[in-house]
Amino acid sequence: MNRPQFIDKMIEIIKKMPGVGPKMAERLSYHILKMPYHDVEKLLNSIQKARNLMKNCSICYNLSEHDPCIICSDNSRERSTICVVETPQDLLAISKAKEYNGLYFVLGGVLSPLDAIGPDDLRIDKLIKILKNGRVVEVIVATDMDSKGEITAIYLAKIIKNLGVKVTRLGYGLPVGGDIEYADEVTISRAIEGRKEM
């Protein structure tokens, strides 16, 4: 007997998600087939709703329900500093540490020659545009502390310094090779306190 095609199809699609292997995709698919229909609807609706409500903030590119996002439109925030992060998850992790009160900018990834991701695939031009407005005094580069994040930071530092803006990098606290998204709040606070000029 072969598996019904519609189950195969579902497994094949779920298998493409990050961190989901073939066995996991199979288990998830059969779980979905066993779930009460009401729960399946809740799952599908939550995805649909998230996709429909989701916007990218047109200033910082954070995921948000509003445009501009609540951070960019928050007048109590220090507007002379921008913290550059790879992803909205990284932004969230840093904001939870409550150490930083400036603005953010979501780069959308890091440079990765092996994956053919170059400067044009990131939002570097949009960042430059903001910096050319002349109100930003410091950019904190908070890309991950691994090799790709480091290379990206060095690349950005060169460009940003050329614009006459101070560049710092997250410092003490984060382990080498560490992923910002999974760092704890204290570690992130220390890293912001100990940031170094590049």
Task: Give the Cα separation of 11 and 152 in Å (integer).
Answer: 36
Residue 186 is a binding residue for a copy of itself (CB under 8 A): no
Residue 38 is a binding residue for a copy of itself (CB under 8 A): no
Calculate the alpha carbon distances from 102 to 30, 32, 60, 95, 111 in Å.
46, 43, 12, 10, 24
Calculate the alpha carbon distances from 42 to 37, 65, 137 in Å.
9, 20, 46
Residue 187 is a binding residue for a copy of itself (CB under 8 A): no
* Closer CB to a copy of itself, 104 or 155, in the complex: 104
Q: Tokens at residue 35, please?
A: 């779930």
Can you list the alpha helix ranges (DSSP code H) found in 64-146?
88-96, 124-132
Helix (H, G, I), strand (E, B) or coil at 197: strand
Per the DSSP assignment, residues forming a β-bridge with 83 are 104, 140
Residue 23 is a binding residue for a copy of itself (CB under 8 A): yes
From the list 22, 58, 67, 70, which residue makes contact with a copy of itself (rule: CB under 8 A)? Answer: 70
Residue 175 is a binding residue for a copy of itself (CB under 8 A): no
Residue 65 is a binding residue for a copy of itself (CB under 8 A): yes
From the list 81, 85, 88, 168, which residue makes contact with a copy of itself (rule: CB under 8 A)? Answer: 88
Binding positions for a copy of itself, rule: CB under 8 A: 1, 3-7, 9-10, 13-14, 17-20, 23-24, 26-33, 37, 40, 42-44, 46-51, 53-54, 63-65, 70-71, 87-89, 91-92, 95-96, 182
